[in-house]
Structure 1
């Protein structure tokens, strides 16, 4: 796996270098603003590494900004500011796709290329990039949760936001998979909203444990969910009595994977997603066609699927205590 990743990374670097040569030679260096859901959390810190790498390798003025809180209106204000600054392209990870439709529409009317991520139903976008089919990823997490739970018992689900499209697709895909394959499992309560905040996830988990003392499983969506869940599980000494899976990174959930408070995580590399969004933005600005089966020269995006204006990769990985050292981020 490491050898393959290294080879693909080398191909990606060569591709980016060619990109840079063409862009600089043609005098086409562009301003590309990546606008994320929230600044300062590990997930988007990792994405910023990819954005900076793209800028260094291509000569583009690619940079990342995000609101201080997971608030759609703060994200709207940032995008308005980017429009006023006259950026050439926006790469946006929407907190609420619906809330961003008007401002992204204004950006496109101003001639700004818009690439979104985690927003497959976004209307005002040139292309939306998805690391994978979201419902399939949710089903993948549920299969692991169900196996850990022995195919029976109560479980709860968590989302960063009730308006986050991808989080809801993951959870809905998981629930549908459970209902079709594990009828002896029971979803308890509603979707628990955590606002991409580990402290909120911790508080919600305490509420869930009080309301459903026999609960056996929990599935998180925001990268910070399982950290908050794991902390609550660890404090109660319930590591052996519960199963916890969700989307996260080793840098966020690693300590709980080690103790067994969290059993497994799934993710895609946000740094590669950041690179891919910026690369797509430049391709669009250069008039290049995006086609089904195209190789973007990045790991997990070697043969993308195109469905309308949604681009799907195959970029998820499953990680537990045994293999998390292979992913040092």
Structure 2
């Protein structure tokens, strides 16, 4: 996985571990993650370590959509089944490397569009800013497109769009600068909930709590509380606790397929992504 410092990925790990404990007769599980979302070289090294240790399958949420592909190609050549979750690997690089890796995950653009549409429908103004994820990540690119589509459709102006590398502290710094440079900002669309938390701190620091609406993506527990407290308007739930499970089940299916001699390739699987608002959280 990516950074285990991010609650979304620690939740993903717990979901995988829970699934394994309930299916301990079917497979053994090794959980790994990197400390920093940008530490792509460490994630490449983890892939190589797992191959060397003799695993049968790797389920990966890549920190970078392009850089991980050669390492995963080598894993496949070594006989390891690879399933891509969360952040889709780059299609062109996969073609260049001559490999096909199934993607199991949500439509990030559609999820971000739902969140953006909700902000537009409840807006306090027409000027917004976007906190992007790491720009080489496919899911960051798709969420940006979803936000942009929602704002364009609603006739709202994006006055600033910058990357905060998925990180809370970086988002606090970037959002603070945005609010200082563009005091007319009435909404901030954050491509993940960690950055939304940073935006909350920035808005508070600017003395604009209650004036600037914030939306996120991931539905971590801290954001659910912030939604209930009125500090965040909405987020998108891509069911992180189940995302790794969907990938694991796809990998197990492929292992069983190979064992039976049929060796049927895994197809891409689109998983759910749902809008989360205060109204939804208040439902029993």
TM-score, normalised via structure 1 length: 0.76
For 2:255, the equivalent position in structure 1 comes to: 285
Kindly report the root-mean-square deviation, in angstroms, between the aligned alpha carbons of the 2 structures: 2.1
Taking the TM superposition and a 5 Å limit, the aligned residue runs for 1:18-97 are: 36-59=1-24, 60-70=27-37, 71-97=39-65
* Structure 1 residues 17-51: Cα deviation after superposition (integer angstroms, max 9, x where no partner): xxxxxxxxxxxxxxxxxxx1112321111101121
Q: Provide the rounded CA distance (Å) in 1 between the counterparts of 2:224 and 2:149.
A: 29
Gap regions ≥5 residues in structure 2: 258-262
3-state SS of 1:156 partner: strand
Question: Counterpart in 1 of 2:276?
Answer: 319
Tell me, yes or no, if structure 1 residue 138 matches structure 2 residue 103. no
1:110, distance to aligned residue in structure 2 (A): 0.6
1:175 matched to 2:145: no
3-state secondary structure, aligned to 2:30: strand
> Deviation string for 1:181-225 (max 9, x for gaps)?
222x111223x2222221111111101101111001111112301
Question: Whose relative contact order is higher, 1 or 2, with alpha carbons under 8 Å and at least 6 apart?
Answer: 2
Is the 8 Å Cα contact of residues 193 and 235 (structure 2) preserved in structure 1?
no
Instruction: Give the conservation status (yes or no) of the 8 Å contact 1:155–1:218.
Output: yes
Q: Provide the secondary structure at the position in 1 that maps to 2:31.
A: strand
Offset at residue 274 of structure 1 (A): 1.1
- How far apart are the structure 2 equivalents of 1:101 and 1:256? 37
Residues 233 and 261 in structure 1, CA contact (< 8 A), matched pair in contact too: no
**Shift of the alpha carbon at 1:250?**
4.2
SS at match of 1:253: helix
Secondary structure in 2 matching 1:98: coil
Q: CA deviation at 1:120?
A: 5.5
CA distance, structure 1, for counterparts of residue 127 and residue 234 of structure 2: 18
Which residue does 1:3 correspond to in 2? Answer: none
Q: Give the drift of 1:230.
A: 1.2
Among 60, 76, 83, the alignment partner of 1:108 is 76
How many pairs align? 269
User: Which secondary structure state, in structure 1, belongs to the residue aligned with residue 193 of structure 2?
Assistant: coil
* Structure 1 residue runs without a partner (length 5+): 1-35, 292-308
Query: CA separation in 1, counterparts of 2:65 and 2:220?
Result: 27
Structure 1 segments of 4+ aligned residues over 6 angstroms from their partners: none
- Using the TM superposition, give the Cα deviation of residue 77 of structure 1 relative to its aligned residue in structure 2, in angstroms: 1.2
Q: How many angstroms apart in 2 are the aligned matches of 1:224 and 1:267? A: 14
1:153 aligns with 2:120: no
3-state DSSP of counterpart to 1:286:
helix
How does 1:160-309 map onto structure 2 within 5 Å?
160-179=133-152, 181-183=153-155, 185-190=156-161, 192-287=162-257, 289=264, 309=267
Shift of 1:279: 0.6
Question: C-alpha distance in 2, partners of 1:233/1:165?
Answer: 28
Q: Distance in 1 between matches of 2:208 and 2:56?
A: 51
Residue 260 (structure 2) aligns with: none
Q: Cα deviations across residues 258-300 of structure 1 (Å, max 9, x unaligned)?
A: 3322111111211111111101001011117578xxxxxxxxx
> Does the CA contact (< 8 Å) of 1:114 and 1:125 recur in 2?
no
How far off its partner does 1:97 sit?
1.2
Distance in 2 (CA, whole Å) between partners of 1:224 and 1:125 is: 31
Distance 1:79 1:169, change over 3 A: same
Q: Residue deviations 1:58-77, cap 9 Å, x none?
A: 22111210111112112111
2-structure distance, mates of 1:245, 1:266: 9
